[in-house]
Structure 1
Amino acid sequence: MRFDHAGVATNDAEGLAFLYEDVFGCEIAHEERFNELHVMFLELENGYFELLEPQGEGTISRYLENHGAGLHHIALETDDIESSLEQATDVGVELIDEEPRRGAWGHQVAFLHPESTGGVLVELVEH
């Protein structure tokens, strides 16, 4: 697996994108409205920041209410998401997604429960 991105929950994706562009020298690589989210990917040399701004009620709006803005998840790229989910299950990791689903950019994604991964929400991504 390879590092893919760090997901950051925010109430202002555009404002945070401008800040990250100034501070880290990254540029917007992709932007879309996805489910209840405004999603912006800022490209780094070895991965992305994924900025997640809620556009109504949903997972990220609840996250912001409970935890405030900040790191939401890390994502690891895999060449075979189904095998990666099987491996996680085999070693006792609780899955949020039993089956991969469509994520941003049309990629297949699945999340591992943070209670099984040291308190970190982990997203598996197959491009």
Structure 2
Amino acid sequence: MHIDHAGIATNDAVGLADLYVALLGCEPVHSETFDGMDVHFLDCGNGYLELLEPVEEEGAIARYLENNGPGIQHLAFATDDAAAALDRARGLDIECIDEEPREGAWGHEVAFLHPRDTGGVLVEFVEH
């Protein structure tokens, strides 16, 4: 596995994308509205930044921003088999938020692990 992307919660995904493009030379590669949020992916050469802006008041990113403010919301790791990655986590007694992979942004299969079992970090497995 390797780091696929860092998910960053923000109230202004377009503005933050513009900043990272200017600051880091990242390239915008994908945008969509998905699961109550606007999602913007920036290619940084060796991984992505995923900028997450809520478009619904009740969504996960809106709750995250309300409780924590803007910042890194999760780290995602690329895997060839998200279901096997979940099984490995269960074998280590890590609580899985998703019992099985589901469709995520960009049409990828994703699954999340609870941060209380992963050092306070919301971990996502991404199967491209």
Give deviations 1:76-121, integer Å, cap 9, x for gaps: 0000111110000001111100111100110000000000000000
Q: Which amino acid aligns with 2:63?
A: R
Q: SS of 1:46's equivalent?
A: coil
1:46 is the counterpart of 2:46: yes
C-alpha distance in 2 between matches for 1:84 and 1:70? 26
C-alpha distance in 1 between matches for 2:84 and 2:17? 34
C-alpha distance in 2 between matches for 1:14 and 1:45? 20
The residue that corresponds to 2:82 in the other structure is: 81
Q: Which amino acid aligns with 2:109?
A: Q
C-alpha distance in 2 between matches for 1:40 and 1:106? 14
C-alpha distance in 1 between matches for 2:101 and 2:89? 13
1:43 CA displacement:
0.3
The residue that corresponds to 2:110 in the other structure is: 109
1:12 CA displacement:
0.1
Aligned residue-pair number: 127
The residue that corresponds to 2:17 in the other structure is: 17
Q: SS of 2:99's equivalent?
A: coil
Q: TM-score, normalised by structure 2?
A: 0.98
C-alpha distance in 1 between matches for 2:27 and 2:126? 21
The percentage of counterpart residues that share the same residue type is 61
Runs of 5+ unmatched residues, structure 1: none
C-alpha distance in 2 between matches for 1:107 and 1:116? 24
C-alpha distance in 2 between matches for 1:101 and 1:83? 13
1:24 CA displacement:
0.6
1:2 CA displacement:
1.2
Stretches of 4+ aligned residues off by more than 4 angstroms? none
Q: SS of 1:74's equivalent?
A: strand
C-alpha distance in 2 between matches for 1:33 and 1:100? 20
C-alpha distance in 2 between matches for 1:121 and 1:69? 15
C-alpha distance in 1 between matches for 2:61 and 2:92? 28
> Over the residues paired in the alignment, what is the CA RMSD in angstroms?
0.5
